[in-house]
């Protein structure tokens, strides 16, 4: 599952954003706190979209099925849990960067929803 070997990904474009995976993962409110940066094509053909949080500068990489990936260097990505990816990208916001109470609540809701979804059937499509 998440301990899979890294997959190779190469940047394919940085001009046409795809917001649906992020909005599906965190909701409209939190999606507005990210920038879409670029698209990567994984070695299995899937597109992977890179989103950078405006305040934390941390990335969340999502495929079209909202599977999260961690960039591990040298064009390699490793699948990780969505909740873990969101918590890693968002926690500096509430820990050090003055996120509002509304934003913190939205973060925890998105993380809890991702943890709950992980208990369901696999999201691979």
Residues 42-65: tens digit of each pLDDT:
999 999 999 999 999 999 999 999
Mean pLDDT by 10 residues, the chain (125 residues): 78 94 96 97 96 96 96 94 96 88 94 86 47
Find the length of the chain: 125
Q: Is residue 94 part of a domain?
A: yes
Which residue, among 106, 81, 80, has the nearest Cα to 93 in the 3D structure? 106
The number of domains in the chain is 1
Q: 39, 51 in Cβ contact below 8 A?
A: no
Q: Is residue 105 part of a domain?
A: yes
The H-assigned helical ranges of 33-119 are: 82-96, 101-118
Q: Is residue 2 part of a domain?
A: no
Q: Is residue 112 part of a domain?
A: yes
Residue 52 has what pLDDT?
A: 98
β-strand 68-73 against 34-42: which pairing, if any? Answer: unpaired
What DSSP letter does each residue of 58-71 carry, written as one string?
-EEEEETT--EEEE
Q: Is residue 55 part of a domain?
A: yes
Count of CB atoms situated within 10 Å of the CB of 3: 7
Residue 98 has what pLDDT?
A: 84
Domain that holds residue 58: 7-118
Q: Is residue 53 part of a domain?
A: yes
β-bridge mates for residue 78, sequence order: 70
Count of CB atoms situated within 10 Å of the CB of 66: 18
Q: Is residue 23 part of a domain?
A: yes
């Amino acid at each position: 599952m998440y301990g899979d070997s890294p997959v190779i990904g190469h940047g394919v474009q940085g001009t046409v954003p795809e917001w649906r995976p992020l909005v599906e993962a965190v909701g409209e409110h939190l999606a507005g706190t990210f920038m879409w940066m670029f698209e990567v094509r994984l070695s299995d053909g899937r597109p992977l979209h890179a989103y950078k949080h405006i305040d934390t500068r941390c990335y969340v990489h999502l495929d079209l099925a909202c599977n999260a990936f961690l960039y591990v260097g040298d064009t390699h990505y490793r699948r990780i849990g969505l909740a873990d990816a969101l918590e890693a990208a968002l926690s500096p916001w509430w820990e050090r960067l003055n996120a509002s109470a509304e934003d913190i609540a939205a973060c925890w809701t998105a993380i809890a929803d991702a943890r709950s979804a992980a208990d369901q059937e696999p999201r691979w499509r």
